[in-house]
A and B are shown apart, each in its own frame.
Chain A
Amino acid sequence: MDSQVAQYVPVLMLIGLAVLITGGMMVVSVLLGKRGRRTTIKDTAYECGMLPVGAGNTRLSVKFHLVAMLFILFDIEVVFLYPWAVVFKRMLAHPDTANLIFFAMLSFLGVLFVGYLYALKKKAFDWTH
């Protein structure tokens, strides 16, 4: 049972157990919890004891969306770097592939670094801008 697919059996068991424990705790809390009365004031959104003003979902700065987009760009870069990191040592040991693996990723990182500099110059990382 050393195959990799079999190794996911315990992962599935762990998922099952985690769902069971979490769900169980929520259900037990509903069953055991005190039954309270529902009042109008209890149903209002919490704003430090004042009556809520306006809608619950306030408008938010466009900066947050910018961060999300930058995250996608750079996270994809990270994803590409992992397979490279794994084979790096093995390909480096072989004289035919040593330069290939090194310069291939160096150029990839170079292109991305230019992109990073562009974002930096456009002040995409400046929160107060």
Chain B
Amino acid sequence: MMNWFNNLSPTSQFVLFSALKVVPAVLVMLFIVAYIVLVERRLCAFIQDRVGPNRAGPLGLLQPMADAVKAFLKEDFMPAHVRPVYYWLAPALVMIPSLLTLAVIPFGSQLGSQKMVVADLNVGILYTFGIVSLGVYGIVLAGYAANSKYPFMGGIRASAQMISYEVAMGLSVIPLFLLVGDLNLSTVIGDQTHGLFSWLVFRQPLAFAIFLCAAFAETNRTPFDLPEAEQELAGGYNVEYSSMKFALFFMGEYANMIAASAMMVTLFFGGWTLPFFGLDQPAATVLGGLVHIGIFLAKLLVLLVLFIWVRWMWPRFRYDQLMNLGWKGLVPLALANIVVTATWLWLKS
């Protein structure tokens, strides 16, 4: 077995290892998507003093399977008034970018000699922002394709909201890169390994607050869920969709939530590191590598629960409040944070 492997050229080994990282990463992502939906439903139920889905399997653990079977077996109906090409394209354009964001996120230190990141790009965060921006197209296109009033309004609202908060999100992380001096996310994590208070959330709390707000708005979560405000739009951009195409929007939203949480873990909470027991250094053993992946997933879960929790603690914003917060609150605040951080570094030098 090892002989066969060692006989391969370095290129084939690289391709093989890449495939061995890409496939499990995507499968784990889809697994988390399936189960975070269940966690959300159970948690919502507990907060509202209900029971939640507990019939399919023990504790309702088979519920995601039941939901998937249902989504596949439902009638795949395309109404006559829609624009067919865009109607088919839109769900895919929501789902695909949300899966692509995980490429640059280091989800562990290393297993053996392999770094636990799908692609260790030096442009790091720029790749993520580029891919996240693509997600807007899917939603706008869904609204346009449906050729119906509610989806259209939902799509337009979503595009205005997402591009507004993208500016704040892009500006909010610049102070981090002033401190770190590199866009590569592995380097960003490396910079957070000097004790608990070297985590960037403690060095840049304002940046984290802005990023968190923007992440909620980018993923269309309450209190910024105006694109799908049920009471006004009956569901927003996905009204005319049914069956798996509807489920793809749903999964895309949750995948985006996971991607946003993973970004926050990496940028602000030290990624796969913990400041105790020497867990902030790349793992030498396979067990250590697995522990690092576990730490990353645990931090991810905490942030995902925060996303779900906030949904039941905050009412929805009005659209003018949303725009005011974005353009008059977060953007100038993020700019001020950049200037203050840069000035402080300049005075210190």
Total interface residues in chain A, CB < 8 Å? 71
Tell me, rounded to whole Å, the shortest Cβ–Cβ distance linking B125 to chain A: 8
Tell me if A96 counts as interface (CB < 8 A to partner B).
no
User: Which of the residues A19, A42, A102 comes within 8 Å of B77, measured between beta carbons?
Assistant: A42
- A74–B26 touching, CB < 8 Å: no
Residues of A within 8 A of B14 (CB): 1, 6, 9
Name the CB-closest residue of B to A27: B244
Neighbouring B residues of A85 by C-beta, 8 Å: 174, 177-178
Is B77 touching A26 in the complex (CB atoms < 8 A)?
no
| Residue pair A26, B248 in contact (C-beta under 8 Å) | yes
List the one stretch of B50-58, B92-100, B280-288 in contact with chain A.
B92-100
Contact A46 B335 (CB under 8 A): no
- B residues less than 8 Å from A87 (CB atoms): 181
Residues on the A chain within 8 Å of B183, using CB: 82, 86
A83 to B71, CA, bound (A): 45
B171:A81 contact, CB within 8 angstroms:
yes
A14-B103, A70-B327 in contact; A29/B244 too (CB < 8 A)? Answer: yes
Can you list, as one digit per residue, whether each of A101-129 has a CB less than 8 Å from chain B (1) or not (0)?
A: 01001100100010010001000011110
- In the assembly, what is the distance between CA of A90 and CA of B182, in Å? 10
CB-nearest residue of chain B to A65 = B160
Determine the chain A residues whose CB is within 8 A of the CB of B204 once the complex forms. Answer: none
- Complex-state Cα separation, A50 to B179, whole angstroms: 57
Q: Which of A36, A46, A70, A89 contacts B150 (CB 8 A)?
A: A46
Give A104 Cβ to nearest chain B Cβ, in Å: 11
Contact B342 A14 (CB under 8 A): no
Residue A13 is within 8 A (CB to CB) of chain B in the complex: yes
Tell me which residues across on chain B come within 8 A of A28, comparing CB atoms.
Answer: 72, 244
Which residues from chain A contact B331 at a C-beta distance below 8 Å?
Answer: 74, 116
B: residues with CB less than 8 A from A are 10-11, 14-15, 18-19, 21-23, 25-26, 30, 71-77, 79-81, 88, 91-92, 95-96, 99-100, 102-103, 118-122, 126-127, 144, 146-150, 152-153, 156, 159-160, 163-164, 166-167, 170-171, 174, 177-183, 234, 239-240, 243-245, 247-248, 319-320, 323-324, 327-328, 331-332, 335, 338-339, 342-343, 345-346, 349
A-B contact list, 26 entries, CB within 8 Å: A1-B14, A7-B120, A17-B23, A18-B96, A22-B92, A30-B76, A33-B75, A36-B75, A43-B80, A45-B79, A45-B148, A46-B239, A56-B149, A57-B147, A57-B152, A58-B153, A67-B163, A67-B323, A74-B331, A75-B163, A98-B346, A106-B339, A116-B331, A116-B335, A125-B328, A127-B323
